Each structure stands twice: as structure tokens, then as C-alpha cells.
Structure 1
Amino acid sequence: MDGSTFAIARLTLPEAAAERLRTLIIEGELAPGARLNERELSERLGVSRTPLREAFRMLAADGLLVQLPNRGAQVVALSRDDVRHAFEVMAALEGLSGELAAARVTGQDVEELQTLQAEMEQAHERHDLPTYYRVNRAIHERINGIAGNPILTQTFKTLNTRLHALRFRSNLVRAKWDQAVAEHRQMIEALAVRDGAGLRDILIRHLKAKRQAVLESMIAGSGDAAVPNA
């Protein structure tokens, strides 16, 4: 499957279109501040404008798009202050997730995470950032799920949805990507020995590094609206 097609399975047309658009935003093909051309996207995704507009509404509800009266939809562009504030909260949420997960993790959970970690490292070795990011995302969501707190999970998902694109792009510099891989190894090791305080600290440090990478990218792009999707 290439970037211009999207297999629709077990999803409604609007849901399928929304998932494909989400990927295009996360991977930077639809950049922050970009206006969405309904005709082009309708042809690219193979759907009519009615389900496409519903997909726009779904992504606007997730905070990824803004719908402009009589002007269509536009990809949200976060300011530097938005990034600082969002990552501060996400670091706290991830740290709490890690602390709770360490107290509730099972041996099977650890094995599943180790499998994901191995898959993620293989993607890193072959420089496959899209696959790496999908597995990376699954690891963070799995740790959050193990924490077993539905309110925490909902808050985590709501905020993380807005940060997916920024987190993806934070690995574009190879040294920072290598650092992230090493930090993930430390996460799984801490979880395996149920070191809640250690896992919390690693996750907070990991998110602070992501925030710094994103801010450096924004500064290099000279301006808030020039944020590349990470």
C-alpha cells in the first residue's frame, strides 16, 4: 500500500478518511497551517466530499484541524508556548502512568512490551520512522493502559492526540532518535523490575527531551506556525 491509497476495513468511510488524514498530519505530509483542498483529498482518499467533511469534523474535535467559516479546514499549528505547556502536562501524565503501571504490571505485560521494543528497534535499525513511530506509540499507550486508571487514560489520549505529529518529527535528527531508543530500553527495564519511581523519572526525562527537540525544530523553522509535525 502506498501513501496515496488507504484500505478501508471495519471502519465507516468518515472514520477511514479521518485515520488516513491523521497519518498524513502526523508524518508531515499535511503541514501545520496547511489549508486542506477538498477536491484533491477526495480524489486521493477515494471518498466523496460528504464523508471527507465528516472526517474533518472528527479531526477538529481531536484538536488536529480548525474549521474556518466559508474557508474550509486547516491543520492546527501550535505556538511555542502551546508546545511548552502541552509537554509539561504530558510529562506529568506519562510519569504518573509509569508509576502506576509498575505497581500493576504482570509478567505477560512485560513480555508484550519487550516484543514491541524489539520491533521498534528493528524499525530504528532500518531507518523506518513511520513504523518506528507506530510501535513507539503502542508502547506508550500500553504503559498507560497497564496503569489501569480510566480518567488518566482519557486525559492522556486527548492531549497526546494533539502531540502525535510533534513527537513523530522529534526523531528526525538521528542522535535524538538514538537517544529515544536508549530511553525506551530503560523504560522496559524499569517496568520489568517494578521500579515505579525510576520509570516515572525516565518518562519525564524522555518527554522533556522531546519538548526540547520540538522547540529546537521550531526555532530552526523561525516561527510558531513553522512547526514541523512530530
Structure 2
Amino acid sequence: MTASIAPLASRIALDTQGAAAIRRAIIEGALGPGALVNETELGQSLGISRSTARTALKLLELEGLVSQQQYKGWRIFTPTAEDALNLYVLRGALEGVAAAQVARGAQPASLARIAQDYAAMQAAAGRHDMRAMSDADHAFHTRLIVESGNPRLADQYLQVQQHIKIYVATANRIRGRFRDIVQDHDAMKDAILAGDAAGAEAAAREHSRQAGAMIAAVLNSSQVPTS
């Protein structure tokens, strides 16, 4: 299961680098849901020691992406339909408030950065680059939180950010149609840029509701696509 992770190129902060590499593999599905990973094999794959691999995994355990199984190794987080629905209700609430605040403030610099993130999604779609698409998708949503200027909101979002990344990547693999993925964000983006706070909040909540329902339906059918 770990052969698809490339060895680390740098020797600086190896545990942090290792955590980043494993996190990416989990988000993209290279380390599949529920898979068991071995510290020794993982360390060999990444070109780091077993102890460093263990430290990297402990960092990811704090994010809820892995859990240690006594005498077995480490188990990768498994998305579930119930979790998807619950997470996307929370995501919609957080992003809805953020989108409304950004639209209400209508700061030119903030709106320009949101437009740039949307353009990055369009560019990734034009290249048919799924990794870049998912990264740009997540960046667009995170931008709403950042530009809201609400530190309490940002703290809550940070707690679920890595799980959101997994579900975003899963949703995009399900959809597969790049143009549709971009267009799913149009109502939210347009309302924010127009300064329509109520419309922006409603669009953000609806976007999350539809995405959560779609992911839950696929997870219930046990047909989750891999990378």
C-alpha cells in the first residue's frame, strides 16, 4: 500500500515532511480508506527511519487521519456516509457565515483574491489536472474563511480542514467532470462578488448540502472511486 509514495527529497524536518507526504497520499486515495500501514515499510518507502515515520503518523493522528491499532499498525481514516453528511452540514454553516461576512464587507482586495482562486479552478479544469483541481477547490473555500477575518471561525474550520480535503478530493473524483466542478461554485462566487450577503450564505450552504448528499450516496453504494 505504501509503494506509491515517493521518497522524501529533503532532510529538513523529516517528520513534518513525512506527515505531509502521507497526508497527500490519504487525501488522493493512494492510501485507501481503512488500510493498515506498517511503520517500518512506510519509513522505507519514504526514505526515513521507523521512529521518524512513527512521529509523522502521530502528527496525523492529531488530525484524525490515522489511528493506531494495537499490535497491527496504523489504520487510515475511513470516510462514511454519516460522517460526510455531518461534516458538510458543519462546513456549510461555517462557510455560509464566512461568505456572508466577505460579501457584506465587499473589500476589493478580498474579492480580488476570491476571484483569483476561482480562476485557479478554471485553469486546473482547462488542464484536466485533478490534483490541481482539488487543491484549487479547497483553496477557494478556505479563502472564504480567511477573508472573513473571523478568528473564531478560522479556529473551528482548522479542526476539520484535513477531513474536508479528503471529502473534496473524493467528491471531485466522483464528479470527474471538470467544468461541472467549477460551475458548482458559480452561485457562491457571483453572490460574494456582487456583495449579496444573504445570497452568498444561501449558496454556500446549498453547495455543501449538495456535495455532502452526493458523497453520502456514493459511500452508501460502496462505490468510492480511487485515485
1:106 is matched with 107
Q: Distance in 2 between matches of 1:94 and 1:145?
A: 10
- Residues 38 and 175 of structure 1: CA distance in aligned 2, closer, same or farther (over 3 Å): closer
Residue by residue, what CA displacement relative to the aligned partner does 1:92-122 show, whole Å, maximum 9, x if unpaired? 1111111122223421222222222222112
- Residues 72 and 125 of structure 1: CA distance in aligned 2, closer, same or farther (over 3 Å): same
TM-score, length basis structure 1: 0.88
2:179 is matched with 178
Higher deviation after alignment, 86-95 or 184-193: 184-193
Q: Distance in 2 between matches of 1:109 and 1:79?
A: 35
- Deviation at 1:41? 1.8
Q: Distance in 2 between matches of 1:176 and 1:122?
A: 14
Amino acid at match of 2:80: S
1:62 is matched with 63
Q: Distance in 1 between matches of 2:191 and 2:157?
A: 21
1:4 is matched with 6
Unaligned 5+ runs, structure 2: none
1:92 is matched with 93
- Deviation at 1:219? 2.4
Residue by residue, what CA displacement relative to the aligned partner does 1:114-172 show, whole Å, maximum 9, x if unpaired? 22222211211222110111111111111101111111111112123223212111112
- Residues 7 and 102 of structure 1: CA distance in aligned 2, closer, same or farther (over 3 Å): farther
Alpha-carbon contact 1:90-1:160 (below 8 Å) kept: no
- Residues 175 and 75 of structure 1: CA distance in aligned 2, closer, same or farther (over 3 Å): closer
1:170 partner SS: helix
1:155 is matched with 156
Alignment of 1:1-230 (within 5 A): 4-8=6-10, 12-174=13-175, 177-221=178-222
Alpha-carbon contact 1:105-1:146 (below 8 Å) kept: no
Alpha-carbon contact 1:99-1:199 (below 8 Å) kept: yes
Alpha-carbon contact 1:165-1:229 (below 8 Å) kept: no
TM-score, length basis structure 2: 0.89
Q: Distance in 2 between matches of 1:13 and 1:105?
A: 42
Q: Distance in 2 between matches of 1:13 and 1:229?
A: 27
- Deviation at 1:220? 2.6
Q: Work out the percentage of aligned pairs sharing the same amino acid.
A: 26
Q: Distance in 2 between matches of 1:88 and 1:165?
A: 16
Residue by residue, what CA displacement relative to the aligned partner does 1:16-47 show, whole Å, maximum 9, x if unpaired? 11111111000000111000122332122221
Residue by residue, what CA displacement relative to the aligned partner does 1:182-204 show, whole Å, maximum 9, x if unpaired? 13233222222221111111111
- Report the RMSD for the aligned CA atoms in angstroms: 2.2
1:73 partner SS: strand
2:67 partner SS: strand
Q: Distance in 2 between matches of 1:17 and 1:105?
A: 40
1:66 partner SS: strand
- Residues 30 and 105 of structure 1: CA distance in aligned 2, closer, same or farther (over 3 Å): farther
Amino acid at match of 1:64: L
Residue by residue, what CA displacement relative to the aligned partner does 1:195-220 show, whole Å, maximum 9, x if unpaired? 11111111111111211221122123
Amino acid at match of 2:187: Q
Alpha-carbon contact 1:168-1:229 (below 8 Å) kept: no
Amino acid at match of 1:183: D
